[in-house]
Chains A and B, each alone.
Chain A
């Protein structure tokens, strides 16, 4: 029985178990009394908050019932926030501003476990390292904590140097150009990399180990070797979803997974606060998957990584808490409950199939609003789309969130639109009363529960299909995920074409006179692209005599089966990204695309 099949059985077993407990609570007096006693304690432990209009509300809304069966179904089937199976939330407390709780009647441990940092993350990257650095400093002026999220340009994402053939136009477009450790140093200049209130996220996959090695090496340059265990952040590094959807994998799958596992092995012990992978459904959804497909493929990929890391001998209780997730949130109704279902299935899989402890069971989620839902026509409608998606994301208790800018269909967002996107989150969380007072105002509504069940059924049925094909890696060989995603994408386009999927301003209520938006487009000027190449050439000249040797050392580690990531931290001192990927390609080959 493969892992996915085991997960399906465990989920069914869990759902049956809950129903058995419900029956017990209704028929066995001692159990009923125990449940009612616990329910009373839970209710008594909930703090009270006061609204600006003078209402006093409980921080957590519980079902208004005294019926032991229903109470049991809630406690066992949903779990309180921060309790198995985590339908409500991964943590006991979310989105709370300090000092807002008026009566701290809840147990201390609960507060200690709450998610205390701001959930807003904004993805940025443009031009050269110093341009993005400036944008980071601009963005964090609006944030209390420093949480940088980095977008890289096309050549970097594909492991190419800026002086590669035919990539000139792509330098610094859509993200920052990083060729060398020197660029990496410039990118985060002025930020306290080892500070506990600082974290950085890097959205890169194929060359992720090389880029993270540059980050570690650059941090060491500035702060000495002592900084390494203190580094906090995330690197996306999810190569499976690249094969299935986003197409930014550069090495063959087996080699990619080996480099990833090397990196995870290193960070789990040496950078204990680092997330070496962000298991991502975002790109799967953006490539056209339905929400159910997004959830199913993402979770299935996650279980596959767990298997791989365990095969390497890593302890699931050690690396489990260092896995994080990244999902898309669009406007389809499934998003009312998608993240809730993911938290549940992940926790059950981790507990019952992999024997992981409570910390490793948490599905820690970063959400981004849907880029695909944004439309260039009458683009200001995108503000509304993003706002609605943000609401869905927070109703699903996401742990952090990025809101897209309205102008993203045509350009790297302008500062004005970035600011609007960031403030949309502040309006929702701070200005509106939706999440400030009751943390789960709309949680567990009948409609949400119905969607939740439908989504769970859909996801489990996808698991069974992948299992029939022999698991995630075998299904990839059959191009299963790709063709399913493509079929969904095709249907989506057809629905827009024939109008069955209304897109306001595009295929419905279209203003025939609407002019194309006059938006200031952010582009990287030619002289900057030239400057990047000059810097790269200078770096290569400086290290000309040592680069070959450094690459040979790396090659030896690759051949002898050592930890490639550990070696890369040394290699990046002498070699550029493109030099390193070129040598690795010689050793392990190229990824062969499937269509």
Chain B
């Protein structure tokens, strides 16, 4: 097919444009059964995350993939994330009041996104009275759990309510299609199910998005760095859009806690499309879904696509040959000895090496050692020192400049 199509996620993703062509109906039985994906969060102005942390762990143990958005999150952030992640349901833990209004706002926003098939359940302290719960359930909340509910009861509820094979409508890519966040998210799910390969690249004549791969050991600060880059990106180009494909490990035999969103401040934005992916048994830092997902994201009108791997080991080369346009290896100064540095294979292939946490005492030595290591490669690799946790860190500014096309 050689039709020219415009595959933009809607500029205003809070509303679906409804201009899609008749959709293809897909059901999971034809495809590998995917784990249940849930989004959990604590509402705005509420920092009570103790209960939800415990519940998240139990969900993961029971094979569920949990995208955790963290505490003090607005209904807008929650629904945007739930739609982008194409979860089956949203679980909210509310402790300090205002729950009736908050849950109602979440339901309303889901409706606006055309995503009322995403379930909503919740619970919290005894501030939610039985009368409140009845009213909330009448209003569309699937279930409110009261204090003292055994964790197993919640897991059973989730599996029963949200575990059934689902059918999703995948928008046909055509010239007039305008992809909303909702449609793009469903397309990614279809791709994960291996049930649908839209072959967007062959349908499109415009240039694909620039893709930057970001990898590095766990704890180096990859997520923080990405969030800070997104802040600069959004500030520099007032209409630009960015996509993030963020990986977290699945636990052996279990689900996964996909928690990168929880530590992101600036990426909760209508111009950012973020998808959290569990590795689902694949080693090396990425997921079986990575490549097909990137194939979709690259042709959806994003100005930039960022791919974050899970924390990698010394021998990992997560991006292969052609997956991304540029690679950034993020390290912190605590990599061990100079000998350890020799063993890090990514140092040979990364285009940019970011030494994060450059405020630490060991950073000076580390920078010198890494410089030497890169010099041996003779590939013109760039070393940039950052302290991404600092507000307006000049190192991150420099990295951002370097990444400009």
CA distance A169 to B46 in the complex (A): 12
Q: Identify which of B75, B125, B263, B390 contacts A410 (C-beta below 8 A).
A: B125
Instruction: Say yes or no: B130 contacts A516, CB within 8 Å.
Output: yes
**Which of B50, B51, B147 has the most chain A CB atoms closer than 10 A to its own CB?**
B50
Q: Identify which of A170, A489, A593 contacts B53 (C-beta below 8 A).
A: A489
Chain A residues with Cβ under 8 A from B45's Cβ? 153-155, 157-158, 160, 167, 170
Chain B residues with Cβ under 8 A from A409's Cβ? 125-127, 147
Instruction: Say yes or no: A595 contacts B102, CB within 8 Å.
Output: no
A–B Cβ pairs within 8 angstroms, 7 of them: A170-B102, A288-B50, A409-B126, A411-B129, A593-B70, A593-B265, A595-B53
Q: Identify which of B44, B97, B224 contacts A592 (C-beta below 8 A).
A: B224
Chain B residues with Cβ under 8 A from A171's Cβ? 98
CA distance A506 to B97 in the complex (A): 23
Instruction: Say yes or no: A589 contacts B148, CB within 8 Å.
Output: no
- 17 more CB-based (< 8 A) A-B contacts, given A169-B101, A255-B391, A377-B147: A154-B96, A157-B45, A166-B44, A166-B74, A169-B97, A174-B96, A174-B127, A247-B48, A247-B72, A379-B126, A409-B147, A410-B128, A486-B53, A589-B392, A593-B70, A594-B263, A595-B70
Instruction: Say yes or no: A595 contacts B72, CB within 8 Å.
Output: no
Do A376 and B391 form a contact, CB below 8 Å, given A169-B99, A173-B96, A490-B54? no
Instruction: Say yes or no: B101 contacts A497, CB within 8 Å.
Output: no
CA distance A592 to B125 in the complex (A): 26
Chain B residue nearest to A172 (CB atoms) is B97
B320 within 8 A of A: no
B105 within 8 A of A: yes
Task: With both chains docked as a complex, state the minimum distance between the C-beta of B273 and any C-beta of chain A, in angstroms.
Answer: 21
Chain A residue nearest to B266 (CB atoms) is A590
Chain B residue nearest to A591 (CB atoms) is B265
| Interface members, chain A 355-401 (any B CB < 8 Å) | 375-377, 379
B34 within 8 A of A: no
Chain B residues with Cβ under 8 A from A521's Cβ? 129
Do A252 and B389 form a contact, CB below 8 Å, given A486-B53, A497-B151? yes
Q: Identify which of B127, B389, B391, B392 contacts A411 (C-beta below 8 A).
A: B127
A residues in contact (CB < 8 Å) with B? 153-155, 157-158, 160, 165-171, 173-174, 242, 246-248, 252, 255, 286-288, 375-377, 379, 409-412, 486, 489-490, 493, 497, 506-507, 516, 519, 521, 523, 588-590, 592-595
Task: With both chains docked as a complex, state the minimum distance between the C-beta of A591 and any C-beta of chain B, in angstroms.
Answer: 8
The A-B contact count (CB < 8 A) is 129
Q: Identify which of B74, B127, B128 contacts A165 (C-beta below 8 A).
A: B74
Do A377 and B50 form a contact, CB below 8 Å, given A165-B74, A166-B76? no
Q: How many residues of B are in contact with the other chain, CB < 8 A?
A: 47
Q: Identify which of B47, B54, B71, B148 contacts A376 (C-beta below 8 A).
A: B148
**Which of A153, A158, A592 has the most chain B CB atoms closer than 10 A to its own CB?**
A592
CA distance A35 to B384 in the complex (A): 67
Task: With both chains docked as a complex, state the minimum distance between the C-beta of A525 and any C-beta of chain B, in angstroms.
Answer: 13
Task: With both chains docked as a complex, state the minimum distance between the C-beta of A487 and any C-beta of chain B, in angstroms.
Answer: 10
CA distance A444 to B147 in the complex (A): 38
Chain B residues with Cβ under 8 A from A595's Cβ? 49, 53, 68, 70, 259, 262-263
Chain A residues with Cβ under 8 A from B76's Cβ? 165-166
Instruction: Say yes or no: A154 contacts B46, CB within 8 Å.
Output: yes
Chain A residue nearest to B56 (CB atoms) is A595
Instruction: Say yes or no: A506 contacts B44, CB within 8 Å.
Output: no
| Interface members, chain B 10-55 (any A CB < 8 Å) | 44-51, 53-54
B398 within 8 A of A: no
CA distance A493 to B390 in the complex (A): 36
B206 within 8 A of A: no
Chain A residues with Cβ under 8 A from B146's Cβ? 376, 516
Instruction: Say yes or no: B97 contacts A173, CB within 8 Å.
Output: yes
Top 6 closest pairs, chain A to chain B, by CB: A154-B45, A169-B101, A247-B47, A169-B98, A173-B97, A589-B391
Instruction: Say yes or no: B54 contacts A489, CB within 8 Å.
Output: yes
Chain A residues with Cβ under 8 A from B44's Cβ? 154, 158, 166-167, 170
Q: Identify which of A154, A166, A242, A523 contacts B105 (C-beta below 8 A).
A: A166
Task: With both chains docked as a complex, state the minimum distance between the C-beta of A249 and any C-beta of chain B, in angstroms.
Answer: 9
Task: With both chains docked as a complex, state the minimum distance between the C-beta of A474 and any C-beta of chain B, in angstroms.
Answer: 9
Task: With both chains docked as a complex, state the minimum distance between the C-beta of B268 and any C-beta of chain A, in angstroms.
Answer: 11
Chain A residues with Cβ under 8 A from B71's Cβ? 247, 593
Chain A residues with Cβ under 8 A from B53's Cβ? 486, 489-490, 595
Chain B residue nearest to A175 (CB atoms) is B96
Task: With both chains docked as a complex, state the minimum distance between the C-beta of A242 and any C-beta of chain B, in angstroms.
Answer: 8
Chain B residue nearest to A377 (CB atoms) is B148
Q: Identify which of A169, A247, A412 contacts B49 (C-beta below 8 A).
A: A247
One digit per residue, 1 when the CB lies within 8 angstroms of any chain A CB and 0 when it does not, for chain B 225-266 equals 001000000000000000000000000000000010011010
Instruction: Say yes or no: A170 contacts B265, CB within 8 Å.
Output: no
B336 within 8 A of A: no
Chain A residues with Cβ under 8 A from B148's Cβ? 375-377, 506-507
CA distance A563 to B97 in the complex (A): 36
Task: With both chains docked as a complex, state the minimum distance between the C-beta of B129 and any C-beta of chain A, in angstroms.
Answer: 6
Chain A residues with Cβ under 8 A from B72's Cβ? 158, 247, 593
Chain B residue nearest to A251 (CB atoms) is B391
Instruction: Say yes or no: B96 contacts A593, CB within 8 Å.
Output: no
| Interface members, chain B 126-140 (any A CB < 8 Å) | 126-130
Instruction: Say yes or no: B49 contacts A376, CB within 8 Å.
Output: no
B100 within 8 A of A: yes
CA distance A154 to B47 in the complex (A): 9
CA distance A160 to B45 in the complex (A): 9
CA distance A169 to B132 in the complex (A): 13
One digit per residue, 1 when the CB lies within 8 angstroms of any chain A CB and 0 when it does not, for chain B 71-107 equals 1101110000000000000000000111111100100
Chain B residue nearest to A587 (CB atoms) is B391
CA distance A248 to B96 in the complex (A): 13
CA distance A168 to B108 in the complex (A): 15
Chain B residues with Cβ under 8 A from A519's Cβ? 129
Chain A residue nearest to B262 (CB atoms) is A595
Task: With both chains docked as a complex, state the minimum distance between the C-beta of B52 and any C-beta of chain A, in angstroms.
Answer: 10
Q: Identify which of A173, A247, A252, A516 contacts B391 (C-beta below 8 A).
A: A252
Chain B residues with Cβ under 8 A from A157's Cβ? 45
CA distance A588 to B390 in the complex (A): 9
CA distance A174 to B128 in the complex (A): 13
Chain A residue nearest to B150 (CB atoms) is A497
Task: With both chains docked as a complex, state the minimum distance between the C-beta of A244 and any C-beta of chain B, in angstroms.
Answer: 12
Chain A residues with Cβ under 8 A from B403's Cβ? none
Instruction: Say yes or no: B98 contacts A173, CB within 8 Å.
Output: yes
Task: With both chains docked as a complex, state the minimum distance between the C-beta of A91 and any C-beta of chain B, in angstroms.
Answer: 34
Chain B residues with Cβ under 8 A from A489's Cβ? 50, 53-54
B57 within 8 A of A: yes
CA distance A157 to B71 in the complex (A): 14
CA distance A592 to B224 in the complex (A): 8
One digit per residue, 1 when the CB lies within 8 angstroms of any chain A CB and 0 when it does not, for chain B 59-71 equals 0000000001011
Instruction: Say yes or no: A246 contacts B54, CB within 8 Å.
Output: no
CA distance A593 to B47 in the complex (A): 11
Task: With both chains docked as a complex, state the minimum distance between the C-beta of A237 and any C-beta of chain B, in angstroms.
Answer: 16
**Which of B72, B97, B147, B389 has the most chain A CB atoms closer than 10 A to its own CB?**
B97
Chain A residues with Cβ under 8 A from B126's Cβ? 376, 379, 409-411
Instruction: Say yes or no: A490 contacts B57, CB within 8 Å.
Output: yes
CA distance A49 to B177 in the complex (A): 89
Instruction: Say yes or no: A154 contacts B130, CB within 8 Å.
Output: no
CA distance A379 to B125 in the complex (A): 13
Instruction: Say yes or no: B127 contacts A592, CB within 8 Å.
Output: no
Chain B residues with Cβ under 8 A from A589's Cβ? 391-392
**Which of B47, B125, B127 has the most chain A CB atoms closer than 10 A to its own CB?**
B47
Chain A residues with Cβ under 8 A from B57's Cβ? 490
CA distance A287 to B46 in the complex (A): 13
Instruction: Say yes or no: A170 contacts B97, CB within 8 Å.
Output: yes
Instruction: Say yes or no: B127 contacts A410, CB within 8 Å.
Output: yes
CA distance A246 to B72 in the complex (A): 11
CA distance A521 to B133 in the complex (A): 14
CA distance A580 to B272 in the complex (A): 27
Task: With both chains docked as a complex, state the minimum distance between the C-beta of B381 and any C-beta of chain A, in angstroms.
Answer: 28
CA distance A209 to B103 in the complex (A): 32
Chain B residue nearest to A170 (CB atoms) is B98
